[in-house]
């Protein structure tokens, strides 16, 4: 469920399309109500219990290939889980997301809505756990567990931010593709996240060095609402764009190589400190291993002042079709 290729047909969006407004609208989920979850036909039901799920409805962004962008579903799951935290306050302040672990199960259809069923797994003294299923046509396309924590002190350390050129020293994708009349170029310019690669981007030419490391500056295209949940969701959205690039960079491939068959398989993310996704964030990435048609990407995110705000890990299917 990636969105990396430059497609052969346009996404069908008009000249007045606002990518960031479209993303925020996609994240504005509608609460439908509550569903009951039961287990039947296996003996004593009390062993398994009965639970409820709060159900939300969201739309999908149109993609040229017709499949839902994985980062979109990640972000919507963050919003859905976070919406169920509004009434959890024991006097120590709100609880913010600190981790998520999700598995992509099926490709999503971008012409169909997605329902998000959120189960309240536990509300403890400091932490809350939620399970979210993103569902289309009665089957899950993504399953995620998230955890939220109230503000707390404690031990504090972090790795230093790598020394790289700043975003003002680098060309954006708009600089690279703004004057090109091609559907693939137009699609890249309709992303709600701005990217500036420290190394070369991989849409046209492979990396001159076969290295499994790279860094990308990124930020939302405009100002976001002053809501930590929105910023966390947008960061999760953006985290899915480039995390498999160190894999294909290491093997001299590009996103436009027609032999390449990429897809996200799972995604984990840890939010270490408060973040503003509409300010520059350095996303440093590496791939320690690729085998069996799968590649692992690990990323660290730093605010421009050097504060480490998140760590991300994703394994993806990275198959190269030889014929």
pLDDT digits (tens, 9 = 90+) for 203-221: 888 899 999 999 999 999 9
Amino acid 6: pLDDT: 43
| Average pLDDT value over all residues in the chain | 90
pLDDT above 80 (res 183): no
List of residues 6+ apart from 179 with CB closer than 8 A: none
Using a pLDDT cut of 70, give the percent of the chain over it: 89
Out of 64-68, 88-92, 97-101, 203-207, least confident range: 88-92
pLDDT above 90 (res 307): yes
Mean pLDDT of the 251-259 span: 88
Amino acid 93: pLDDT: 87
- Residue 283 tokens, joined: 């996303």
- What whole-number distance in Å separates Cα of residue 101 and Cα of residue 267? 6
Amino acid 1: pLDDT: 58
Amino acid 13: pLDDT: 45
- What whole-number distance in Å separates Cα of residue 152 and Cα of residue 310? 17
Mean pLDDT of the 245-259 span: 91
Q: How many CB atoms lie within 10 A of CB 11?
A: 16
> Between these two residues, 100 and 12, which has the higher pLDDT value?
100
Mean pLDDT of the 116-145 span: 96
The torsion angle over the Cα atoms of residues 112, 256, 218 and 86, rounded to 10 degrees, is 20
- What whole-number distance in Å separates Cα of residue 174 and Cα of residue 234? 20
Range among 1-10, 86-95, 124-133 with highest mean pLDDT value? 124-133
* 91 and 56 Cβ atoms separated by less than 8 Å: no
Amino acid 12: pLDDT: 41
Mean pLDDT of the 262-290 span: 97
Longest Cα–Cα distance of the chain, Å, equals: 66
> Between these two residues, 46 and 139, which has the higher pLDDT value?
139
* 301 and 281 Cβ atoms separated by less than 8 Å: yes
HEC readout, the chain: CCCCCCCCCCCCCCCCCCHHHHHHHHHCCEEEEEEEECCCCCCCHHHCCCEEEEEEEECCCCCCCCECCHHHHHHHHHHHHHHCCCCCCCCCCCEEEEEEEEEECCCCECCCCEEEEEEEEEECCCEEEEEEEEEECCEEEEEEEEEEEECCCCCCCCCCCCCCCCHHHCCCHHHHHCCCCCHHHHHHHCCCEEEEECCCCCCCCCCCCCCCEEEEEEEECCCCCCCHHHHHHHHHHHHCCCCCHHHHHHCCCCCCCCCEEEEEEEEEEEECCCCCCCCCEEEEEEEEEEECCEEEEEEEEEECCCCEEEEEEEEEEEEECCC
Give catalytic residue positions.
240, 264, 314
> Between these two residues, 308 and 34, which has the higher pLDDT value?
308
* 180 and 126 Cβ atoms separated by less than 8 Å: no
Mean pLDDT of the 88-114 span: 93
List of residues 6+ apart from 5 with CB closer than 8 A: 65, 184, 255, 256, 260
* 116 and 78 Cβ atoms separated by less than 8 Å: no
- What is the gyration radius of the CA atoms in the chain, in angstroms? 20
* 323 and 267 Cβ atoms separated by less than 8 Å: no
Instruction: Look up the pTM and report it.
Output: 0.91
pLDDT digits (tens, 9 = 90+) for 309-322: 999 999 999 999 88
pLDDT above 60 (res 252): yes
């Amino acid at each position: 469920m990636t969105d990396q290729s430059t497609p052969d047909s346009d996404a069908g969006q008009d000249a007045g399309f606002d990518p960031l407004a479209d993303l925020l609208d996609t994240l504005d989920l509608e609460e439908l109500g509550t569903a009951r979850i039961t287990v039947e036909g296996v003996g004593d039901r009390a062993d398994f219990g009965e639970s409820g799920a709060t159900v939300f409805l969201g739309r999908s962004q149109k993609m040229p290939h017709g499949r839902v962008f994985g980062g979109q579903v990640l972000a919507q799951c963050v919003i859905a889980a976070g919406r169920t935290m509004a009434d959890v306050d024991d006097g120590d302040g709100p609880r913010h997301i600190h981790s998520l672990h999700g598995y992509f199960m099926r490709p999503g259809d971008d012409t169909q809505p997605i329902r998000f069923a959120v189960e309240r797994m536990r509300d403890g003294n400091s932490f809350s756990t939620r399970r979210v299923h993103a569902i289309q046509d009665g089957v899950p396309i993504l399953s995620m567990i998230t955890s939220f924590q109230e503000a707390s002190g404690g031990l504090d350390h972090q790795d230093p931010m790598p020394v790289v050129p700043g975003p003002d020293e680098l060309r954006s994708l708009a600089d690279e593709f703004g004057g090109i009349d091609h559907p693939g170029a137009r699609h890249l310019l309709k992303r709600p996240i701005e990217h500036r690669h420290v190394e070369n981007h991989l849409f046209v030419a492979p990396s001159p060095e076969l290295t499994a490391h790279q860094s990308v500056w990124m930020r939302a295209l405009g100002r976001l609402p002053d809501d930590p949940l929105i910023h966390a969701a947008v960061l999760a959205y953006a985290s899915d764009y480039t995390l498999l690039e160190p894999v294909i960079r290491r093997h001299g491939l590009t996103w436009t190589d027609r032999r390449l068959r990429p897809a996200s398989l799972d995604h984990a993310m840890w939010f270490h400190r408060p973040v503003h996704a509409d300010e520059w964030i350095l996303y440093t990435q590496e791939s320690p291993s690729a085998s069996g048609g799968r590649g692992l990407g690990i990323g660290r995110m730093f605010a421009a002042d050097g504060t480490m705000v998140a760590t991300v890990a994703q394994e993806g299917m990275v198959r190269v079709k030889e014929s």
